[in-house]
Structures are given as C-alpha cells and as structure tokens.
Amino acid sequence: MSKAEVIPQLMSVFQQYGYEGASITRFSEATGLKRASLYHYFPNGKSEMAAVVLNYLTQALKEQLLAPLRSDNSPADRIRAMNQNVDAFYQHGQQDCLLALLSIGEAHELFQEQVQQALNLWIDSLATVLAEAGITPTAARQRAEDAIVQIQGALVLTRGLNNTTTFERILNQLPETLLRPE
Amino acid sequence: MSKAEVIPQLMSVFQQYGYEGASITRFSEATGLKRASLYHYFPNGKSEMAAVVLNYLTQALKEQLLAPLRSDNSPADRIRAMNQNVDAFYQHGQQDCLLALLSIGEAHELFQEQVQQALNLWIDSLATVLAEAGITPTAARQRAEDAIVQIQGALVLTRGLNNTTTFERILNQLPETLLRPE
DNA sequence: CAGAATTTACCAAACGTTCGGTATATATTT
DNA sequence: AAATATATACCGAACGTTTGGTAAATTCTG
C-alpha cells in the first residue's frame, strides 16, 4: 500500500475522532497496516500524519472547492458550483471538517498556522467572486466570512442534532444570501 | 473543595481539550485535587464527569441564555438580551462550545441525546420568540436554527482564524437578521 | 541481489481506574 | 460533656491497558 493510498484513510480517522482521539491503533485498523508500519511513511509519527493529511486536505480544498470559483461562468454559477462541491466534500454534512477539528486542544498550537491559511484562502477566493459580482470589497469579505461561518455552523448542528436537513437547507439558501443586493 | 466548585474547572478543561483530550491528570492540575480524589465525587470516572458538566452547562444555558427570552420585553429586546449573554457565555468567542465538542468521536455516542436535547431546546426557545414577533412558525424555526448555526460557525472561525472579530460581527448583526421582514 | 515495505518484538510514559488508608468533620449514643 | 460511630474529603501507590514510538528481523518487489 502506497503512501498516497494511506493518507485518505488517516484523514477519515482524524475526521471521526479529532486529533487527540485519533490513535495509532485506529490508524492501523483503518489502513490494515500494523502500527509500526505507519512509521515507515511518517517517521515523525502522529503529528506528521496530521500535517500531511492537512496538506492533502488543503490541496483538495483548492481543487474541489476553489478551482470552480475561477471558471469563466457567471459569479452566481461559480458559487453554485462551489456549493455543489461543498455538499460532496462534507458528504452532505455527515463528514466533519478537519480544519475545525484541528483547532482543538493540543492540535490548535500545532496546526493553527496551516488552518488559518486554508480558511483565509477560502474566504479570499469567495470574496473575490463576490466582488466580481459587484459587491463592495469590504462587504464581499464579510459575506465570504459569513458563508464559511454558515457552512461550519451547519456541520456542527448536523452532528449535534444528528440530522442533515439543516446542512442541506443552509447550503441551498447560501448562493442567494451571498448575492443578495446590498 | 466542594463538588460544586470542581464542576466549572472540569468544564473548562473539557472546553479546552475536548472529551478525548481531557485527561484525568489535566483535571487534577486544574482542580488541585489528586487524580484519585476526583473519583470521590465522580465514582464512574471521566464519562460521569462529562455527564455532570453537561448537565451543569445545560442549566447555565437555560438560566443565562433562555431565561432572558421569556421576559416581558419586546421580542427584539429579548433577542438582544440573549445575544449579550451569548457574548459573555462564550467569552467573546474565546471559549469553545461544549455541545459542539461533545459531538466528536467517542463522546458523540455517549452524549448525543443530551446534546441534541439542549440544542433543540435552544432552537425552540428562539423560534417561540420569533413567532411572537410575527414570523411564520416554519420560518421562525428555520431562522432559529440559522442563529445557532451562525453562533457555532462563528466560534469555529474564531478558533481557526485566531481572531474574535468575526464572532463579534456575527453576534452584532444577528438580531436584525433574525427579525428582518419575511 | 538491493531496496523498499512490512512485521514481530519491545519499550517508557501516560492513560483511566482501583485499592487501602488517613485525617477531619459531623452525628449518635452514653 | 465525653466517647463512640459514621460520613466526608482526600491521597499515595499500584492496577491493567493503551499510548506514541523504536530496533531488528523478515517479506516483498523491481
């Protein structure tokens, strides 16, 4: 099993248990590799695994969510495209956001910088599209923040209420909320 | 040191580290009690500690956030009152929400029911006020959900961006967002 | 055969938890 | 009031288990 195949499995464990709850044993069970074998690909252990997974996640974010924002369609269409991919990215709200999980406890100090960068990149990309749609730059930035707030909050509520309807509704109303006249 | 004095200290550890990251040693350091002494108040250990803390949190939620919603002021004033207390409750966004943290990993299965109840209670209380303000019942429920979504999402972003300005802004614009004409 | 991949065997440290016990305070009995 | 019993609060030491991690040996692959 190649390193590239292992990474998504590690990610899934991190997404389910958070950083401190994700144990090497759980990684072993998820990948089928013995605990020691994981140290072949990740000599620095758990923190390196999380760092690599975080890079992988950031790459996926860029390709799956941010790239559609840079197409030559209309701003509205581009936001709708991202939205659709957000739905898939978080598996209709059933998958926790790693960026949120890695902001907790021990992980917060370790990965704050990378998490912050990823979130800001997302916000900036969205704000750019909103500005192209004619929204004032400062308002565009705020609305972009609001979008991420709503996505993250919807994920929290999905877990807490054990029900994806809120996530779907939030996602559906997001494009018109973002593009409403000022 | 009485049990009542210990509970808030345990809560603070849970809020900082999540369920799996909160260790008995950290509880010991936070309270000043030795590890074994904690089992005097909580014979069933960590899970009981979290359960008691969750009850305590739910009580605080009722008293500090939901009670103001049942005053005889105008709906707008009541929402503003809750809002102000939300700000204090989460220490201007610097304090993570326990309900969100206890929805992760191992804790999810253990406390899902209590978390779900608390969130639904919050949403229902808000929806009632919005209905009193003349909002259609179904829309009131949705807007109440949106409010919790925004609060939770703002907390996530506050951690991720390491910056409370988003939280403050979201909170400030919440009353008029909730009470906007349909 | 060489190198990469994987395993077995092992470790110290931390985990949550239990045990046996000591003070100190509060009731109960004489 | 003094003596006795009971409960509360707390702790040191150890329990068995799991943690993250290492070293050496083996299997697989080009």
Chain segment A76-108, per-residue pLDDT in tens: 999 999 999 999 999 999 999 999 999 999 999
Confidence of residue A182 (pLDDT cuts 50, 70, 90): confident
CA neighbours within 13 Å on the CB side: how many for B181? 0
A149 touches chain B (CB under 8 A): yes
What pLDDT, on the 0 to 100 scale, is given for residue B88? 97
- Protein contacts on strand C: list nucleotides below 7 Å from a Cβ: 5-10, 14-20
Average pLDDT over residues A144-159: 98
What's the rounded mean pLDDT across residues B100-104? 97
What pLDDT does B177 receive? Answer: 96
Protein-nucleic contacts, chain B 24-43 to strand D, CB < 7 Å: 32-37, 39-41
| Cβ–Cβ under 8 Å, residues B167 and B156 | no
How many Cα atoms are found within 13 Å in the side-chain-facing hemisphere of A114? 21
End-to-end alpha carbon distance in chain B: 53
| Residues near B4 by beta carbon (within 8 Å), at least 6 away in sequence | none
Q: Is A153 on the interface with B (CB under 8 A)?
A: yes
**Alpha-carbon span B26 to B38, nearest angstrom:** 11
The predicted structure's pLDDT at residue B58: 98
Instruction: Decide if B157 is inside a domain.
Output: yes
Number of domains composing chain A: 1
Is B18 part of any domain?
no
For residues B115-132, one letter each, b for 16 or more C-beta atoms within 10 angstroms of the residue's C-beta and e for the rest, the string is bbebbeebbebbbbbbbe
- pLDDT, residue A1, reads 83
pLDDT at A84 (0 to 100): 97
Please tell me if residue A114 touches chain B, with a CB cutoff of 8 Å: no
* Closest CA of chain B from A161, distance in Å: 5
Does a structural domain hold residue B124? yes
The mean pLDDT of chain B is 96
Residue B114 lies in a domain: yes
Q: What is the pLDDT of residues B120-161, one digit of tens each?
A: 999 999 999 999 999 999 999 999 999 999 999 999 999 999
pLDDT at B182 over 90: no
CA distance B47 to B14: 11
What is the SS3 string spanning A18-80?
A: HHHHCCHHHHHHHHCCCHHHHHHHCCCHHHHHHHHHHHHHHHHHHHHHHHHHHCCCCHHHHHH
Q: For residues B99 and B32, give the distance between their C-alpha atoms in angstroms, rounded to a whole number.
A: 26
A90 in any annotated domain:
yes
Q: Is the pLDDT at A51 greater than 90, yes or no?
A: yes
What pLDDT does residue B119 have? 98
Question: So what's the pLDDT on residue B140?
Answer: 98
CATH code (residue B146): 1.10.357.10
- Residue A82 · residue A65 · CB < 8 Å: yes
For residue B23, tell me if it sits in a domain.
Answer: no
Q: Above 90 in pLDDT, residue B44?
A: yes
Model confidence band, residue B114 (pLDDT cutoffs 50, 70, 90): very high
Quick one: tokens of A40?
């072949």
Of B10, B8, B5, B4, nearest in space to B35 by CA: B10
User: Quick one: what percent of chain B has pLDDT higher than 70?
Assistant: 100
Averaged pLDDT for residues A5-25: 95
B70: containing domain: 54-179
Please tell me the predicted confidence (pLDDT) of residue A2: 84
